[in-house]
Chains A and B, each alone.
Chain A
Amino acid sequence: MLKRFATRLFELYCHSDYQEDILGDLDEYYEQNLKAKGRFYANVKFCIDVLLLFRLSLLRDKWFYQNSIYLAMFNTIFKTSLRAFWKERGYTLLNVLGLTVGLTASILLLLYVESERSVNGFHKDVDQIYQVLEHQTFSGTIMTTESTPGPLNTAFKDDFPEVEAITAYTWPYELLFINEDQRHKGSGRWASEDFFSVFSVEFIEGSAENALTSPSQLYLSKSTKERLFGEEPALSRTLEIDGFGSFQVAGVFEDIPDESTIDFDFIAPYQVWKERNDWVNEWENNGVRGLTKLQPGVDIDQFNTKIEGYVKEKIGNEEAIATIFLQPLSDRYLFNIYENGQLTGGRITYIRLLTVVAIFILLIASINFINLATARSTKRAKEVGVKKVVGSGRGHLLLQFMTESTLLGIFSALLAGILVMVLIAPVNLLVGKTMAFSLINVDQAAKLLTAGLVVGIVSGIYPSIVLSNFKAISVLKGKLKSHNSSKGLRKGLVVFQFMISTILIIATLVVQKQLNFVKNKDLGYTKENMILVPVEGNLYDSDVRAQLKSRLLSNPDFTHLAFSSESTMINSGTSTASGFSWPEKENELGTNFNILFAEHGLLETYNIELLKGRSFDPLLATDSMHVIINEQTAKIMNLEEPVGHTVTFWGRTGRIIGIVQDFHFNSLHSGIEPLVISLRPGNSQVINIRTTGQNNQASLAYLEATLKELNPDYPFEYQFLDDNYEAQYQSELVIGTLSNYFSGIAIFISLLGLFGLASFAAEQRIKEIGVRKVLGASVSHIILQMTRGFILLVGIGFLLAIPISYLFMSEWLTTFTYRTEVGVSTFLIAGIASLLITIATIGYHAVSAANTNPVKSLRYE
């Protein structure tokens, strides 16, 4: 086997005259060695000899193109291609520039797409892992949530043989870790035993074996461990969790990659948490998340049908509102929006959109090549004629022109690869990713070259056919027919380019308009100059709170301070359907009321307008029984005089003392929901602090110093409400930035093509312009003549773009309940902008052509 392979190798490179006798010699040595030292030695020796025989003097004669006349032909084609490039360097430059920019943009886009698609892909057996989700029906509409009943964790596996493992874990918990004098706050989960057998992590210390079985064992991420223990190994070391006693480190794992929908710095034993949260033992209550691994080969649709009534059965009530189902974890990130129980998409929409944009940008760049090549085909007609006369067939000519475009494509791909390597770092910063690209990576380099090849072939195929179709006789006679078909196609392609570019510009404008709308929308409260600080440690103590309040407000930079369960952005807050009631309430009313626990002064701190009644009064102790509602709640209660009406909220019966104006406490994607504000200081999680915004640095420093003194155990942490507010629209913001850049790139490439066509037209019509000028045409008339055609094409592209972009963008806007309109002004701006840049691009050639002296252009006629 080895010997045969070596023989083939030898035959491959060795000069054919020498093969027989040297191989004979080798055989002889082989036989000798076989007898003397055995088969293995003989084989190896044979191979080594073959390798050592790779000598210059033994190589095939003219090794690289012997036997292949085609290789010789490629040599020629290669040479002529390079000469053609050089002769037309201006156009080559335009083409390379367009293709390079196009490829760079597309590669960056596709890298982004790939990185988005790879989210959650790092798990072992990811196709067996599913997130447990739950549909909950409230007054006829179905909400979908990750919250699932706690007992599922133990029952699910016993009840269904398809389940290999299931783990329950909590929402992100912030805990303070203390190791001697090292303090570090980490966000992580309490998770049950099977967690590590479902969720793949890489252990640096310890292992997944028997993990999470002991109530005193804890698992840390690498970076958390380093904060607490430095470089030393942490295994079996003990550390304190503030409020939970001491734990032993049973394992350290690599940090969870960014491409994960579930993130954590630590994993703590679920049982500890469960003991303190016994509500989780009821099937009726939702709270924990579930992640499950099914046996290989389970059909997920069938299984989902099977478990549809499972929770109802467990609760023992057919009327229960909950059903659980599983979603593949690999889909969780991209397919994240359920509307009324149906999967309607989510991030995948943007991902598909970006893929399409990437393809269109490449297409625009390819069109440049096609247009320039067909426009200039007359210039190369003679070459084709001569070649045909000498005897080359159509195939050869096709091959030649295809080689030219492919070479250009591959060259541009290499340039694009270098550009991407340079640009990847700033792009990562821009979109908040850690993408990597390197030409050394064989996989990526291969993809890049394929892209270059495809672009080269796609853009080369039509011009090659046109060029190789020339008839030798008519070309050489000088009777080259102008081909109307390719002229028409050229025009069509220009229209197409500008249609796409204009659509992208309009889309960008609309996205920006909506983002501005979101930023400037009057939310019903003031979001600027609001600092949020979490309530923790000593801050649960009411005396400390009072001290904090008086000390901060004594500083003129701070105007208001109030405690509440959440800031005014209640996205994942608590809500209740049955916990809020009034005498007239219909039993089956399934409306979910959002809950905000406030303390005195919250409305004032946020500038939330009170429409009727009064705010909570610190002097009235009975106010803790009363509630304030928003307009939505009032509407649902449908009472003549809501203020003063008796209501019961979570066991406390009191009255409605006020109605606040509806304010946007969730994202503008959805409408304002009913809200109940109750006075319960014990539930406060956030300190809302309003500053004047005059001395931000000084205010923060003062705040930090005060908190350090009052709450020394906890590191200072704060957020600005307006930052949080914008972070809600993260994916829209990323799309906004991306569309800014990519519409710019698309229009740039389109203009490059137009520039090339205009310069060619000016060159071709030089005599015509001369004649016109001699006959008395003015410069402005000629400029008009020159630009009219192009402006018409761009105009048609623009007109075609209007309906398409209108449809797309109004569709996109419907994802927001509160939205701006596409608007006529958007189209006007886009239209005028594209017109102006078109004129600027072709104007240069038009003006210089119109100003040439006719004597010069007509001298040789």
Chain B
Amino acid sequence: MKKYQLGEFEEIVLLTVGVLYGDAYGVAIKEEIEKRIQRKVSVGALQSALRRMEDKGFLSSALGEATKTRGGKRKRYFKITAFGKEALDFNMQTRLDLWKEIPDIAFQFKPC
């Protein structure tokens, strides 16, 4: 577990970056998350999560072309790295394993 430190919010961001492949920059990611999960995301939380994951090696990023919108400032597009994929796999795998281990009886909520 120590190898892939991935918090819940980070995981969501990482997955969203994957979903938005090729178009994953700050504003788009924020809107996508807000649309899909119905929750408010603050710019600060999002940006710091992105940079943190870049530091950890889950994400890579590159600046795009300058456009006329947003005062000529370039966008930074994020991509999942192979290591990021591993982390996601690991997360999913551990959860699946846990799912599988739950005995059926645990989900039988009939009164006994």
Which of A's residues lie within 8 Å of B, judged by CB?
18, 20-29, 31, 49, 51-58
> CA separation between A362 and B10, bound complex, in Å?
61
- Partner among B26, B69, B71 whose Cβ is within 8 Å of the Cβ of A22: B26
Contact of B70 with A20 in the complex, beta carbons under 8 Å: no
Contact of A18 with B47 in the complex, beta carbons under 8 Å: yes
Q: Known contacts A18-B51, A28-B27: does B44 contact A55 (CB below 8 Å)?
A: yes
- Partner among A24, A31, A54 whose Cβ is within 8 Å of the Cβ of B73: A24
> CA separation between A55 and B71, bound complex, in Å?
24
- Partner among A27, A52, A55 whose Cβ is within 8 Å of the Cβ of B70: A27
- Report B110 CB to chain A, min CB distance, Å: 47
Q: Which residues of A sit under 8 angstroms from B48, Cβ to Cβ?
A: 53, 55-58
Q: Known contacts A55-B48, A57-B48, A57-B52: does B74 contact A26 (CB below 8 Å)?
A: no
> CA separation between A52 and B27, bound complex, in Å?
16
Contact of A57 with B55 in the complex, beta carbons under 8 Å: yes
Q: Known contacts A22-B26, A57-B52, A57-B55: does B44 contact A52 (CB below 8 Å)?
A: yes
A26, closest chain B residue (CB): B43
Task: Let me know if B58 is at the binding interface, CB within 8 A.
Answer: no
Q: Which residues of A sit under 8 angstroms from B43, Cβ to Cβ?
A: 22, 25-26, 29, 49, 52-53
> CA separation between A54 and B47, bound complex, in Å?
10
14 A–B contacts from the bound complex (CB under 8 Å): A21-B73, A23-B73, A24-B26, A24-B74, A25-B26, A27-B73, A29-B43, A51-B44, A52-B42, A52-B44, A53-B43, A53-B47, A57-B52, A57-B55
- Report B80 CB to chain A, min CB distance, Å: 18
> CA separation between A133 and B76, bound complex, in Å?
80
Contact of A49 with B71 in the complex, beta carbons under 8 Å: no
- Report B26 CB to chain A, min CB distance, Å: 4
- Partner among A20, A25, A51, A54 whose Cβ is within 8 Å of the Cβ of B27: A25
A51, closest chain B residue (CB): B44
- Size range of the chain B interface in the assembly: 20 to 34
Contact of A57 with B25 in the complex, beta carbons under 8 Å: no
> CA separation between A21 and B46, bound complex, in Å?
13
> CA separation between A56 and B47, bound complex, in Å?
11
Q: Known contacts A26-B43, A49-B44, A57-B48: does B27 contact A21 (CB below 8 Å)?
A: no
Contact of A21 with B26 in the complex, beta carbons under 8 Å: yes
Chain A to chain B: the 5 pairs with minimum beta-carbon distance, closest first: A24-B73, A52-B44, A21-B76, A25-B26, A55-B48
Q: Which residues of B sit under 8 angstroms from A28, Cβ to Cβ?
A: 27, 69-70
Contact of A21 with B75 in the complex, beta carbons under 8 Å: yes
Q: Which residues of B sit under 8 angstroms from A54, Cβ to Cβ?
A: 44
With contacts A22-B26, A51-B44, A54-B44 known, what are 18 further pairs, Cβ within 8 A? Answer: A20-B73, A20-B76, A23-B73, A24-B26, A24-B73, A24-B75, A26-B43, A27-B73, A29-B43, A31-B69, A31-B70, A49-B44, A52-B44, A53-B47, A53-B48, A55-B47, A57-B48, A58-B44
Q: Which residues of B sit under 8 angstroms from A22, Cβ to Cβ?
A: 26, 43, 47
- Report B67 CB to chain A, min CB distance, Å: 9
Q: Known contacts A29-B27, A57-B51, A58-B48: does B42 contact A20 (CB below 8 Å)?
A: no
- Report A26 CB to chain B, min CB distance, Å: 7
Contact of B44 with A53 in the complex, beta carbons under 8 Å: yes
- Report A4 CB to chain B, min CB distance, Å: 12
Chain B, 64-98, CB within 8 A of any chain A CB: 69-71, 73-76
Q: Which residues of A sit under 8 angstroms from B74, Cβ to Cβ?
A: 20-21, 24
A27, closest chain B residue (CB): B70
Q: Which residues of B sit under 8 angstroms from A20, Cβ to Cβ?
A: 63, 73-74, 76
Q: Which residues of A sit under 8 angstroms from B63, Cβ to Cβ?
A: 20-21
- Report B79 CB to chain A, min CB distance, Å: 14
Task: Let me know if B45 is at the binding interface, CB within 8 A.
Answer: yes
A24, closest chain B residue (CB): B73
B54, closest chain A residue (CB): A57
> CA separation between A20 and B76, bound complex, in Å?
9
